[in-house]
């Protein structure tokens, strides 16, 4: 429906008279007053406590920048020395140590393989000889040898016992 | 955010598990070698114990003779079985180690490789036959077991043990070559650093340069020893009729005998120094392989000294 100029003006006059309900106004006002302030400077005048807090946070900010700067300086000085592996990778102690450990393990395997086999093969060859040769039942050097060892152990006092006895004698004589 | 945290934690756990497994696999060969040696040592100990039991049985005067004979037979059979098992494991392990070595691609080396492998298979078959016979032959007696032990001892000492020693020497010589490749690469990297240090005039001291020269000489010596060890192996272990190999070995033998006599006369020993040719050459071969390993170790000690030296320049 087309409105003429006069009717449009009348409708706008009606819109001007629109107002919120009283209780809605009260509710909105209390909500606005209870919400946190975003800009303290625009709110109530700043107290000395607040000014102190601001001052300290500035000091902290400056202090943290200085600390970071100093840390970077110290780290770079330390790292320059410790970065020798990066600056001189061939002489990196970590690389050399790791290589040396790996090679040492291989070397020890080779050396033990070369050395141990001689002993092991001699032992088993000796065992085969003992199994194959005619042995006298009683004049057997293995049996006699083990008996000698047993006798020696039973007649000797241990070095620890000997030194204990000597200590006791010393104490008695003093 | 929570989902990202869970995913990250799981990925990190998987990463550490994989690293642990790979690290374990990397050190497994060292542990395997150690456990083979430990197992062999415990078997030898058990064999010695069984033989002692056999002798104690023979020495006993309280056991009736019939029981003694029965127990003696059982002990002999058990002990011989144990010796054969030990020998089989040793020979089998040596064969497996030998198979892993990458020999040069030449006719001479291929001939040595095939000959040694063939000898290994013959030796293993010999031990398995004895094992089967002890297990299954119901006509065995103590006397027959003694004969088997005697034959086995002779074959072992004259053929099988020398075969295993040869294979060990070949494996060791080529493993030393692999170690030398790693050491050479390290030396090249270190040379770059040393040149840089002196170019930038970070030090006036010649210590670093002197250490480098010493390490380089030590590694050169290790190379020379390794080369000689392979030459000896190639000439001593060949089975073909080769005039130059025979001449090489004879010349080496004469040189070693002369050195031995010189040493013997200087120390005024009366020991008999005449030994079979192969024993002197085998001993010499082992010595130079061991010396080459010692040289590589010394080179790495020098590398570590150089590395500590460099830190001082950057203070």
What is the DSSP secondary-structure string of B266-278?
HTT--------HH
CA distances from B41 to A117, B76, B96, B160, B245 (A): 10, 20, 19, 19, 38
Residue A54 structural domain = 48-82
Q: How far is CA B50 from the centre of its chain?
A: 28
pLDDT tens-place string over residues B102-138: 999 999 999 999 999 999 999 999 999 999 999 999 9
A159 in a structural domain = no
Which domain-ending residue is among B174, B207, B237?
A: B174
Residue A96, domain member (yes or no): yes
Residues A96 and A77 in one domain: no
**Do B138 and B224 share a structural domain?**
no
**What is the C-alpha separation between A174 and A166, in angstroms, rounded?**
12
String of DSSP letters for B5-66: HHHHHHHHHHHHHHHHHHHHHHHHHHHHHHHHHHHHHHHHHHHHHHHHHHHHHHH-SSS-HH
Q: What is the pLDDT, as a whole number, of residue B219?
A: 97
Give yes or no for residue B249 having a pLDDT over 50.
yes
Helices and strands per DSSP (H, E), number in chain B: 8, 0
Contact B44 A121 (CB under 8 A): no
Put simply, the answer to whether A113 touches B153 (Cβ < 8 Å) is no
- The answer to whether residues A53 and A70 belong to one domain is yes
d(CA A66, CA B40): 67
Q: Is residue A162 part of a domain?
A: no
Domain match, B43 and B146 both: yes
CB contact under 8 A, B59 and A138: yes
Number of structural domains chain B divides into: 2
Together in a domain, A110 and A78: no
Query: Domain range holding B225?
Result: 179-313
Q: pLDDT band at residue A38, thresholds of 50, 70 and 90?
A: low
First vs last C-alpha separation in chain B:
45
Co-location of B169 and B183 in the same domain: no
B79 touches chain A (CB under 8 A): yes
Pair B61, B83: CB distance under 8 Å: no
Q: In B, which residues are within 8 Å of A131 by CB distance?
A: 51, 54, 76, 79-80, 83, 145-146, 149
B9 found inside a domain:
no
Nearest CA in chain B to A111: B290
B43 and B142 both lie in a single domain: yes
| pLDDT value for B136 | 94
DSSP, collapsed to helix, strand or coil, labels residue A37 as coil
Give yes or no: residues B83 and B201 share one domain. no
Judged by CB atoms within 8 Å, which residues 215-244 of B form the interface with A? none
**Res A152: pLDDT:** 66
CB B285 within 8 A of CB B229: yes
B19 within some domain: no
**Chain A contact probe: residue of B59, B86, B166, B172 with most A CBs at under 10 A:** B59
**Pairwise pLDDT comparison (A120 vs B89), residue with the higher score:** B89
pLDDT given for residue A6 in this prediction: 85
CB atoms within 10 A of CB A84: 20
Task: Give B-chain residues touching A117 at CB under 8 angstroms.
Answer: 90, 161, 164-165, 168
CB atoms A90 and B192 under 8 Å: yes
Asked whether residue B86 is assigned to any structural domain, the reply reads: yes
Note whether B190 contacts A91, CB cutoff 8 Å.
yes
User: B201: phi > 0 → left, psi -120 to 50 → alpha, else beta; which?
Assistant: left
> Who among A80, A113, A135 is closest to B58 (CB)?
A135
Nearest CA in chain B to A85: B307
Residues of chain A contacting B87 with CB distance shorter than 8 Å: 124
Residue A145 lies in a domain: no
Is A37 domain-assigned? no
Closest CA of chain B from A153, distance in Å: 19
Are A124 and B179 within 8 A, CB to CB? no
- Chain A residue with CA closest to B84: the answer is A124
B22 contact A CB<8A: no
With bands split at pLDDT 50, 70 and 90, how would you rate the model's confidence at B241?
Answer: confident
User: How many separate domains does chain A show?
Assistant: 2
Q: Are A133 and B151 in contact (CB under 8 A)?
A: no
Query: Do the domain assignments include residue A40?
Result: no
Tell me: do B215 and B140 sit in the same domain: no
B11 lies in a domain? Answer: no
**Whether residues B126 and B184 fall in one domain:** no
Asked if the ipTM is above 0.90, the reply is: no
Query: End of a domain among B174, B207, B241?
Result: B174
The verdict on residue B15 lying in a domain is no
Contact B186 A99 (CB under 8 A): yes
In a shared domain, residues B121 and B135: yes
Q: Does A63 reside within a domain?
A: yes
- Assign B204 to helix, strand or coil: coil
pTM of the model: 0.69
Chain B residue nearest residue A93, CA to CA: B307
Chain B partners within 8 Å of A106 (Cβ): 175, 178-179
Tell me: the pLDDT tens digits for A55-104? Answer: 667 778 787 778 877 877 777 656 555 555 567 888 888 899 999 999 99
Query: Quick one: B69 and B168 in the same domain?
Result: yes
Quick check: A20 pLDDT over 70?
Answer: yes
Contact (Cβ atoms closer than 8 angstroms) between residue B164 and residue B95: no
Residue of A97, A73, A93 whose CA lies nearest to A83: A93
Specify if B210 maps to a domain: yes
Find the mean pLDDT for residues A140-156: 68
> Using CA atoms, how far apart are residues B87 and B84, in angstroms rounded to an integer?
5
Mean pLDDT of B52-69: 88
- Mutation test of the interface with chain B: which of A108, A110, A140, choosing the one with the most B Cβ atoms within 10 A? A110
Query: Which of B55, B146, B306 comes nearest A140 by C-beta?
Result: B55
Q: Do B309 and B214 belong to one domain?
A: yes
Whether B153 and B223 map to the same domain: the answer is no
Does residue A101 share a domain with residue A69? no
For residue A161, being part of any structural domain is answered with no
Banded model confidence at residue B270, pLDDT cuts 50, 70, 90: very low
Residue B112 lies in a domain: yes
């Amino acid at each position: 429906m087309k409105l003429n100029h006069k009717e449009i003006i009348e409708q706008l006059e009606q819109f001007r008279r629109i107002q919120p309900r009283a209780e809605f106004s009260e509710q909105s006002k209390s909500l606005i007053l209870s919400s946190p302030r975003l800009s303290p400077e625009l709110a109530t005048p700043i107290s000395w406590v607040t000014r102190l807090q601001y001052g300290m946070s500035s000091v902290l900010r400056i202090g943290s920048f200085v600390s970071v700067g100093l840390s970077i300086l110290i780290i770079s000085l330390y790292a320059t020395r410790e970065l020798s592996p990066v600056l001189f990778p061939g002489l990196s102690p970590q690389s050399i140590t790791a290589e040396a450990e790996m090679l040492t393990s291989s070397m020890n395997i080779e050396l033990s393989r070369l050395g141990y086999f001689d002993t092991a093969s001699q032992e088993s060859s000796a065992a085969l000889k003992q199994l194959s040769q005619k042995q006298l039942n009683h004049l057997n050097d293995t049996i006699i040898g083990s008996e000698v060892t047993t006798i020696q152990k039973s007649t000797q006092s241990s070095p620890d016992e000997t030194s204990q006895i000597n200590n006791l004698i010393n104490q008695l004589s003093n | 955010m929570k989902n990202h945290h869970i995913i990250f934690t799981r990925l990190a756990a998987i990463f550490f598990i994989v690293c642990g497994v790979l690290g374990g696999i990397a050190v497994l060969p060292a542990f395997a070698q150690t456990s083979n040696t430990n197992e062999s040592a415990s078997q030898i100990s058990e064999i010695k114990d069984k033989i002692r039991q056999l002798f104690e049985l023979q020495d006993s005067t309280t056991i009736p003779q019939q029981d003694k004979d029965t127990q003696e037979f059982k002990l002999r059979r058990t002990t011989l079985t144990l010796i054969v098992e030990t020998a089989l494991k040793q020979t089998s392990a040596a064969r497996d180690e030998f198979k892993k070595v990458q020999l040069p691609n030449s006719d001479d080396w291929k001939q040595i490789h095939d000959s040694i492998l063939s000898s290994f298979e013959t030796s293993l078959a010999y031990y398995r036959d004895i094992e089967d016979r002890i297990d299954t032959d119901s006509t065995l007696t103590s006397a027959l077991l003694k004969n088997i032990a005697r034959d086995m001892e002779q074959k072992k000492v004259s053929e099988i043990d020398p075969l295993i020693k040869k294979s060990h020497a070949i494996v060791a010589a080529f493993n030393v070559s692999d170690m030398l490749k790693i050491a050479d690469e390290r030396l090249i990297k270190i040379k770059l650093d040393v040149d840089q240090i002196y170019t930038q005039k970070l030090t006036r001291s010649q210590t670093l340069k002197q250490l480098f020269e010493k390490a380089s000489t030590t590694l050169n010596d290790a190379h020379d020893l390794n080369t000689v060890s392979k030459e000896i192996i190639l000439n001593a272990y060949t089975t073909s009729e080769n005039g130059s190999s025979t001449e090489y070995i004879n010349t080496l033998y004469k040189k070693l005998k002369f050195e031995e006599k010189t040493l013997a006369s200087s120390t005024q020993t009366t020991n008999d120094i005449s030994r079979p040719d192969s024993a002197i050459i085998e001993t010499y071969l082992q010595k130079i392989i061991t010396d080459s390993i010692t040289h590589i170790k010394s080179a790495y000690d020098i590398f570590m000294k150089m590395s500590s030296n460099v830190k001082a320049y950057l203070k």
